[in-house]
Amino acid sequence: MIKVTLPDGSLREYAKGTTSLEVARSISEGLARNVLSAKVNGQVIDASRPLNEDCTLQLLTWNDTDGKSTMWHSSAHLMAEALEALYPGTKFGIGPAIENGFYYDVDFNGQSISSDDLPKIEQKMLELAKTNSVYIRKEISKNEAIAYFREKKDQYKLELLEGLEDGQITFYSQGNFTDLCRGPHLPDTSFIKAIKLTALAGAYWRGDEKNKMLTRIYGITFPKEKELKEYLHLLEEAKKRDHRKLGKELELFHFSEKVGMGLPLWLPKGAALRERLIDFMKKAQQQAGYLPVVSPHIGNKNLYITSGHYEKYGKDSFQPIATPQEGEEFFLKPMNCPHHCEIYKSSPRSYKDLPLRLAEFGTVYRYEQSGELHGLTRVRGFTQDDAHLFCRPDQVKEEFCKVIDLVLYVFKALDFHDYTAQVSLRDKENHEKYIGDEANWTLAEQAIIESAQEKGLKTVVEYGEAAFYGPKLDFMIKDALGRKWQLGTIQVDYNLPERFQLEYTGSDNQKHRPVMIHRAPFGSLERFIGVLIEHCAGNFPLWLTPEQVAILSVSEKSNAYVEQVLEQLQKNYDIRGYADLRNESIGKKIREAELKKIPFMLIIGEKEALAQKVAVRIHGKGDAGIIEINDFAAMVNKEIENDLSI
């Protein structure tokens, strides 16, 4: 007999060799029907694998992330089976589960398929799923495995096999399809009830552009048709919220081929919104003891040679511009830190001056590969809400913690409530990619991890995600549709102070080297606004929205009063808005204001003019009654106060 501990702490005894599925069945039939895989002693395995020793057991269902992964991984195999049936001779690369579904990279051996073929593949998959084929696991020797794929002429699997050790190789089969796979998989295909193949794309074999381009087919599956519908609805919603679409509709920004790709033009409304964000951040920074500085858009090549950026990115930047007479070379600044280092150096510093917090909304230019550009979230010219904190080594942690506070304040004010902090460390294997000495890296990494802990942040650690000069704490936010975005970043840097020979005089009257913290709560304003647009679907917080109120005249008879109301709101209450005095029906004016997502509409006819009141209509909600102007103003300002008092 073996002892099995369940997640609730209860202990049960079973005969040795009992499967997780059988354990589930002993608890309830219903549970057994929903078990996709099992986590045994922390490792996810097939629910049909026998348990041979005492263990902790978590039965995984659709409600568990790992359960979903099992489902999707098995779905990838199902798709492969369908592809093999429909397109004989297809070779298979890898087919993993991903965050939302799965993909399989395949080589159609010369045949080409288009997205029109996807429904056909879906159909085949459904057909195969209905056969309730069992996923069978088989341990196999390396030689046998090689022989199998030689026979199939699948060079990709053979290549994968090269990296595997004999004795650890398993095959999984379902129906007529067998794949090299470590699993785990579903008990059988019947769990896959709803299937959608979502996209078709090229992807290099093993992600290396020197390799052959395979066809990647993305898909997602569900245990119920209803869940697929919900998912498709979510996709629709995401399309509606696309910041590129809303940016156009709400007249926030524009791209012009003539200006250049990836170079956003801010229209008046977008610029107004942006200015407000900047003001908001300036105020917060002023309170946190930051000092504004300003640096030019270009910097001498030598500046970047000193900083090390030239060596690292010189060839991949916009190429330098040169002075006509002397031929001196200048780069468009790709970051503000070197400039700020020179500001630090402009005068001798005492330990009493530190921390010195230099802040700048600095516009930087980076050559991003053409295929990378995407609306506002990936551009070639953007403005960072940048600051560099120069501090003594003993101040690093405290300063780091303060920056975390600031970042969290910003997120709250903008209604981002779901985020994780990603501790981005060096690639464990490959330390040569980074500059700076080992001891400092270790110090910096520790400072970050400790600060994140101290602040009680939900943290994940990612290796290989550090900047080349230092580790980072990146804030990953989840938007209203559950999509993840990287926004703010905080970075500890021992390297630039070294390169720029930054110094301060300590209390011991000796020269010391300060530590630098780079930080940008928004990251880039462009990217942040892009994400914000999608997060709030264009319904910005009242304090931020370009136009808070639309004042609409019912007929031209009321125009004078409308203008009077607007003036009062602007002058006395600092409320932003516009008057719609056009010779159009009130219905049309309302419709347009609704489409522009103006939070409040004031409908003004003869009634209101006579009573010296306003009829309020709330965006998305409708008529909210007739009230005094100052009551309306109070209502607006109250809401703003609520949003900003956190």
Nearest approach, Cβ of residue 630 and RNA (Å): 18
Does residue 316 touch RNA according to CB under 7 A?
A: yes
Nearest approach, Cβ of residue 335 and RNA (Å): 4
Is residue 258 exposed (0-12), middle (13-18) or buried (19+ Cβ within 10 Å)? exposed
DSSP 226-254: HHHHHHHHHHHHHHHH-HHHHHHHTT-EE
Binding mask 600-629 for RNA (x = CB under 7 A): -x-x-xxxx------x-x--x-xx--x---
Is residue 232 exposed (0-12), middle (13-18) or buried (19+ Cβ within 10 Å)? middle
Nearer to RNA, 213 or 291 (CB): 213
Binning the chain into helix, strand and coil, the percentages to the nearest 5 are 40, 30, 30
Count CA within 13 A, CB hemisphere, residue 316. 7
Nearer to RNA, 126 or 480 (CB): 480
The Cα 142–Cα 180 span in angstroms is: 11
Residue 441 in contact with residue 435, Cβ under 8 Å? no
Nearer to RNA, 35 or 614 (CB): 614
Nearest approach, Cβ of residue 26 and RNA (Å): 42
Nearest approach, Cβ of residue 317 and RNA (Å): 5
Residue 391 in contact with residue 354, Cβ under 8 Å? yes
Is the bond preceding 184 in cis, omega lying within 30 degrees of 0?
Answer: yes
Binding mask 173-212 for RNA (x = CB under 7 A): --------------------------x-xxxx--xxx---
Q: Which residues pair with residue 489 across a beta bridge?
A: 474, 520
Nearer to RNA, 109 or 287 (CB): 109
Looking at 158-166, 354-362, 365-373, 450-458, which segment touches RNA (CB under 7 A)? 365-373
DSSP-based three-state secondary structure for 615 = strand
Cβ neighbour number for residue 434 with a 10 Å cutoff: 17
Does residue 434 touch RNA according to CB under 7 A?
A: no
The Cα 473–Cα 445 span in angstroms is: 10
DSSP-based three-state secondary structure for 285 = helix
Number of chain residues interacting with RNA (CB under 7 A): 64
Binding mask 335-354 for RNA (x = CB under 7 A): x-x-----------------
Binding mask 223-252 for RNA (x = CB under 7 A): ---------------------x---x----
Nearer to RNA, 10 or 114 (CB): 114
Locus of tokens 């979230």: 377
Nearer to RNA, 148 or 204 (CB): 204
Residue 413 in contact with residue 644, Cβ under 8 Å? yes
Interface of this chain with RNA, residues 108 to 147, rule: CB under 7 A: 114
Locus of tokens 């580790």: 471
Report residue 496: phi and psi, to 5°: -60, -40
| Among 176, 555, 572, 642, contact with RNA (rule: CB under 7 A) | 555
From start to end of 514-599, where are the E strands? Answer: 515-520, 549-553, 577-580
Does residue 12 touch RNA according to CB under 7 A?
A: no
Binding mask 293-312 for RNA (x = CB under 7 A): ----------------x--x
Looking at 63-71, 223-231, 347-355, 598-606, which segment touches RNA (CB under 7 A)? 598-606
Interface of this chain with RNA, residues 560 to 579, rule: CB under 7 A: none
Q: Point out the residues that are catalytic.
A: 337, 366, 384, 386, 388, 472, 518
Nearer to RNA, 368 or 503 (CB): 368
| Among 373, 435, 461, 476, contact with RNA (rule: CB under 7 A) | 373
220 to each of 69, 99, 223, 438, 621, how far by Cα in Å?
Answer: 11, 10, 11, 44, 35
Nearest approach, Cβ of residue 98 and RNA (Å): 8
Binding site for RNA (CB under 7 A): 114, 199, 201-204, 207-209, 213, 216, 244, 248, 255, 257, 261-262, 309, 312-313, 316-317, 334-335, 337, 366-375, 378, 467-468, 554-557, 583-588, 590-591, 594-595, 601, 603, 605-608, 615, 617, 620, 622-623, 626
